[in-house]
Structure 1
Amino acid sequence: MQNMDNIFLITDIPGYTPQIGRLLSMMNYARYTTIEAVKDLSQEQLDFLLDPQSNSIGALLLHFAGVEYAYQVETFEGRELNAEELAEWGAALDLGDAGRAEIKGHDLQFYLNKLEEVRRRTLELFKTVDDEWLYRQKEFSRGRQANHYFMWFHVCEDEINHRGQIRLIRKRAN
């Protein structure tokens, strides 16, 4: 698990260039608040659906890991997910019917382990690049340009956005 001693500081992190450290500071805070939002949830609460079209908390947690993994592949390896990776992460990335059907029956530790496993790889990968890498541009969405900085901001933003859903679902699942 990441060091939470300075969770409220957006600052340099030893071993990373300045901008990467600050980006990771924000990602660490988002993850900290996610973990706090799901603390002590039961499997039943993790699998709870508000309605037939909603996502479960467990599916959203796996979605965070899947999005982060997909951006690792896209930004560090310059490729899309392969068939094996899509088999593992597809339901978590797409959510919806596949997520409701496939992502259930796990305890909280399962999801926390997945989040930690993917984050550990993210932290190692970010040690291999510098601030200049953050500003490299490529085609991203509908022909628009984005840089790596935006893509990783999007990873953080996606987690924050869906964490709001988690808090709502948790209130209804109790």
Structure 2
Amino acid sequence: MSKKSLQIAALPGYEPEIGRWLWCLGDVRRTILEKLNGLEPDLLDQKVEGKHSIGSLLYHIALIEADWLYVEVLETDFEPEIRSLFPQDDRSEDGALVHVAGQTLEQHLHRLQAVRDRLLFHFKGMDLTDWRTPRQLEAYDVTPEWVIYHLVEHEAHHRGQIFELLRNLREQREKA
């Protein structure tokens, strides 16, 4: 068995501190992609005990990442090509995630990657001063540094939900 090297490495082409945080964000995504590799298509839209589907969680992860990038970091509207990836809000009137159904895993992964590509593009030229400069919004002040921290935390949280859903759905299938 080969020995693992558990280290964080800065993404090349970024200020090193920023690159390390972006590596962490990418590592959470990597583990999701590995777990979903070969996902049975019918499991994407299924719910367990009224919980969200995997597809709905993937849609939510992408939309929240886009929202934090555009609204908080860039303080602008979504670019049209990114807006087109989100034909519906991610929450219903009661605050629950909407059920996103009828899309393939490839469509979900394309959306996630398109948003991540834009995020990486916009952070590429950022220096530490901008990284730590608060954006002064109506409800709060927030730095790009905190946004990336939050996105790591957010995606890791939903990764756990996705993994639990996947385990439960596969257990149900085995019992049937």
> Does 1:51 pair with 2:49?
yes
**Mind listing any 5+ residue stretches in structure 2 that lack a counterpart?**
171-176
Deviates more, 1:124-133 or 1:156-165: 124-133
Pairing partner for 2:35 from 27, 37, 51:
37
Instruction: Please report how far the alpha carbon of residue 139 of structure 1 lies from its aligned counterpart in structure 2 after TM superposition.
Output: 4.8
**Mind listing any 5+ residue stretches in structure 1 that lack a counterpart?**
1-6
Q: Which residue pairs with 1:164 in the alignment? A: 160
Residue-by-residue CA offset, 1:28-52 (whole Å, 9 max, x unaligned):
1011011122221122101011123
Identity of aligned residues (%): 27
Where 1:47 maps in the other structure, the secondary structure is coil
1:36, 1:132 → 2: CA distance?
35
Q: Which has the higher helix share?
A: 1
Instruction: Please report how far the alpha carbon of residue 62 of structure 1 lies from its aligned counterpart in structure 2 after TM superposition.
Output: 1.2
Could you say if the C-alpha distance between residues 116 and 46 of structure 1 is closer, same or farther in structure 2, counting changes exceeding 3 Å?
same
Larger Rg: 2
Instruction: Please report how far the alpha carbon of residue 65 of structure 1 lies from its aligned counterpart in structure 2 after TM superposition.
Output: 1.0
TM-score normalised by structure 2 residue count? 0.79
Within a 5 Å distance, the mapping from 1:100-139 to structure 2 comes to 100=99, 103-139=100-136
> How large is the Cα RMSD of the aligned pairs?
2.7
2:85, 2:8 → 1: CA distance?
36
Could you say if the C-alpha distance between residues 86 and 99 of structure 1 is closer, same or farther in structure 2, counting changes exceeding 3 Å?
farther
Count of residue pairs brought into register by the alignment:
163
1:12, 1:65 → 2: CA distance?
23
TM-score normalised by structure 1 residue count? 0.80
Pairing partner for 2:62 from 46, 56, 65:
65
